[in-house]
A and B are shown apart, each in its own frame.
Chain A
Amino acid sequence: MAAANLQDPGPLIAGQYAVQTARPMPQWGGGLACFGATDVKSSRGDYMALQVRPNAPPRAQALAALASLPMDGVLTPLAHGPGLGPGGEPAWFVICHAPVGAASLAQAGAPWHEGELLGGLLRPVALALERLKGRHLTHRAIRPDNMFRSRAGEPVVLGCAWAAPAASLQPAIFEPPYVAMCLPGGRGEGSIADDVYALGVTLLVLATGRAPMAGMDDAAVIRRKLELGSFAALVGDDRLSPVISDLIRGMLAEDPDHRPPPVLLADPAAARARRVAARPAPRAPRPLAIGQAPAINLRTLAFALAREPVEGARQLRSGSVDRWLRRGLGDSTTAAYVDELVRARVADFPADDEQADVLMTARAVALLDPLAPLAWRGKAIWPDGLGGALAGSDGADTDAALSELVAAEAVASWASMRPERCDPMMLRAEAHQQRQLLRTRGPGGGLARLRYVLNPLLACRSPLLQGRMVVRLADLLPALEAVAVRTEIRIGLPIDAEVGAFLAARSDTHVAGELAKMAEARQLPQAGMIALHLLAWLQDRQRIAALPNLAAWIGGLAEPLLETWHNRPRRAWICEMFAQRVKAGHLPAMLELLEDRAARERDGEQAKDAARLVAAIDAELGQLETAVSARAAKARTVGHELVLGVGMTGLTLGLVVVLLT
């Protein structure tokens, strides 16, 4: 592994790490494509590069927090950045230390004995989780195939969990049901208690030597956990040592508040002693069928309503849920609350208001199961997983559901139903802010803007970029410059809806205003001028020397504005200067030429003066044409006076001569 290929380091991540796609390491990727990497400064090759999936951005907060201060017991990220994938395609990579010589725990087929589980797995992982908790982070990828150890007896190291949205790669059995039911990208950062749950399932898998609930689909796994409780559903009839059984029972508690914290798990004896009594959920003798999902208790009813919202809303409004709660489950208190929800919906909204039904169902889910996530039109997410859900959206249906969820500020309604488990005020404020972004018109707003705001490391999805990896604002102009080489692309604006949303999300607030103006521009040259304004600002800010192709693109769009100069010699001079600046690829200089307002005003004033002068000339010419008779009269008068004058002079001279002689 240390034999790094230094002849062809390939694209460098953070200017230091060369990804060697010819050296795949699938056993360490934890579900992601993984390759060997080399530090070109130290020539060490014991690094790995995890390739980020296009619609699953890495965890920006965790990357920022861990890259500067690595910690023991977990593969922490060292750097991340753009590179080239194995097929030469643009890709984003997260660099970690490679667990050299270690194998994943999934490869250990035989059951582990108790001492190994406690000393080699539980204690080091609990300490690692405690360290993560100390930095307000979670791991959310704890499962045997993402945990490594060199050999038996050595402490286990947690794998990399930073190159994809939190918990997005976790199978349903390793996550609590209220997480597993969510969209993969919408599971949110969660809490350290969710890591404890996953660690509990991992303990179980390693203790028994096999994965529980094998062959069941995710919905069946979740329903079984909700019916029986996670411990009973996962352990089933397996025989575990009392110590392991007690630990797992605590770690798989349904309520995250009831699970032991990592610091307690570091001392298994103490953790075993900590038992929080949880009352088993009452079950109805006969299930309530909601679509394909039968409900036998409150949580399975909530799950059924979340999965089948249309049928659920119908049964809520028809009163069958209320009757089942009262007669089947004997829970008249919850039934009264549900009835109140239904009455409020009927009273406040028209009968055919579909969104009111969706909102009522979402509130009913939160009421019936306070642990449940926000469920909207069959899609479930945690509020902090909205960004990941938007990024990983599998189509227009999910986009529409998430858009409607934000527009209705459903998070605020959901939070108000379970105030003891969240901060409703904060969530309401966030939901309101997200709605404002969604309602922003033009290329600087909408769902795309929200997607980029909530995912700081999501690549821009504009088709203009032709697959180029643009994650940071600094990558945008070089990518546009590269695509602008093709002249056939220079028809429209270089800022489409996706680029606009990306730009607005990654930069200052004034950009959104400019984008709104661009959307309102009636003609392409005016829109091109605003685009030039934005891109020039970006070039100036990023100190990029020359962008000749992009300049030619946007120069072509803004060129008609040069025709608005009135003074032709000046226009010719400006055209020549503009062409020179386009060739130089300097957008601010182009903008300066087009936006010289003082010169523009002077030009306008002078053009008006010229028009006035021409009108005066025309008037005088007309007057000269029509004054022929006046001139003839004047000529006659002047001629006669001239002749008379000569005669008078002669007469006077004659008189003088006569008088003198």
Chain B
Amino acid sequence: MARAPAGAAAAQGGAPARPRRSWFWLQGLACGVLVATAAPLALVLSVLIAPSLIAALAQVPQGAAPMLLRIMLVYAAAALLPWVPMLWSAAQDWPASLSLLGELRLPAIAWGAQGAAWLFSQLAPVGVRLVLEARVRARKARLIDARARLQEEWGLPTE
């Protein structure tokens, strides 16, 4: 699943890799437009997805930040889906936005969903790893058994 670097793919004789386009400036532009046109909404959203941003920033050195960000945002989005109309109407002006954040219920739901997403993203690889290792152990046992049988039948050297 790990994507091979473009140079490596080229060196391996595959199709020439296209240069990756950076959407970072576009994302920055979108954020800028959002802050300029709907600053209260931007504040509410920033507060609500703050755990995702913090967790993603912490994962930058491990290279898993985008995936973790995606997961946590998806979970946050799924949890906040029933409140989207209210959020849209309340985030048109500063007082409504601040009162929404002051209630703490909405941030608690958003942060709880993101915390759960973070926890799942930490636990799921461990579970998958356990399954994979079990399969490898079974495969190794079968191979060692087959080798021992061949060795016994044909008198081959042990190693």
Contacts and interface: CB of A to CB of B under 8 A. Distances in A.
Contacts of B129: 631-632, 635-636, 639
Interface stretch (B24-32, B34-42, B89-97, B146-154): B146-154
Interface stretch (B14-22, B104-112, B117-125): B117-125
A611 interface: yes
Interface in A621-661: 621, 624, 631-644, 646-648, 650-651, 654-655, 658
A275 interface: no
A199 B75 CA distance: 138
B67 A640 contact: yes
Nearest to B68: A640
Nearest to B121: A643
B128 interface: yes
Contacts of A655: 81
A235 to B, nearest CB: 88
A618 B156 CA distance: 13
Contact of A621 (B2, B67, B143, B153): B143
Interface in A424-474: none
Given A650-B75, A650-B78, A654-B78, A631 B136 contact: yes
B67 A639 contact: no
Contact of A644 (B1, B71, B132, B150): B71
Interface stretch (A259-267, A317-325, A563-571): A563-571
B87 interface: no
Contacts of B78: 647, 650-651, 654
Given A640-B64, A643-B71, A643-B124, A631 B153 contact: no
Majority DSSP secondary structure for residues of B touching A: helix
B81 A651 contact: yes
Contact of B151 (A614, A624, A634, A646): A614
B127 interface: yes
A504 B101 CA distance: 116
Interface centre among B74, B144, B146, B152 (most CB of A within 10 A): B74
Contacts of A644: 67, 70-71, 74
A631 B132 contact: yes
A610 B156 CA distance: 9
A631 B131 CA distance: 11
Nearest to B127: A639
B126 A639 contact: yes
A622 to B, nearest CB: 11
Contact of B1 (A607, A617, A637, A643): A637
Contacts of A640: 64, 67-68, 71, 121, 124-125
Contacts of B75: 647, 650
A571 to B, nearest CB: 8
B146 A567 contact: no
Contacts of B125: 632, 635-640
B5 interface: no
Contacts of B140: 621, 624
Contact of A624 (B74, B139, B146, B152): B139
Given A610-B153, A611-B154, A611-B156, A647 B128 contact: no
Given A640-B125, A650-B78, A658-B82, A631 B133 contact: yes
Contact of A646 (B120, B128, B143): B120
A639 B143 contact: no
B8 interface: no
Contacts of A646: 120
Contacts of B4: none
Interface centre among A610, A632, A647 (most CB of B within 10 A): A647
B102 interface: no
Contact of B156 (A614, A642, A648, A658): A614
Contact of A648 (B74, B136, B151): B74
Contacts of B133: 631
A613 B139 CA distance: 15
A632 B144 CA distance: 23
B61 interface: no
B77 interface: yes
Contacts of B81: 651, 654-655, 658
A644 B1 CA distance: 15
A255 interface: no
B153 A643 contact: no
A634 B117 contact: no
Nearest to A607: B154
B155 interface: yes
Interface string A592-621: 000000000000001100110110011011
A618 B147 contact: yes
Contact of A566 (B1, B68, B154): B154
A52 B123 CA distance: 106
Given A614-B147, A614-B151, 8 more contacts: A568-B152, A568-B155, A617-B147, A624-B136, A631-B132, A642-B124, A644-B71, A647-B117
13 contacts: A621-B147, A635-B125, A635-B128, A637-B1, A638-B124, A639-B127, A639-B128, A639-B129, A647-B74, A647-B75, A651-B74, A651-B77, A655-B81
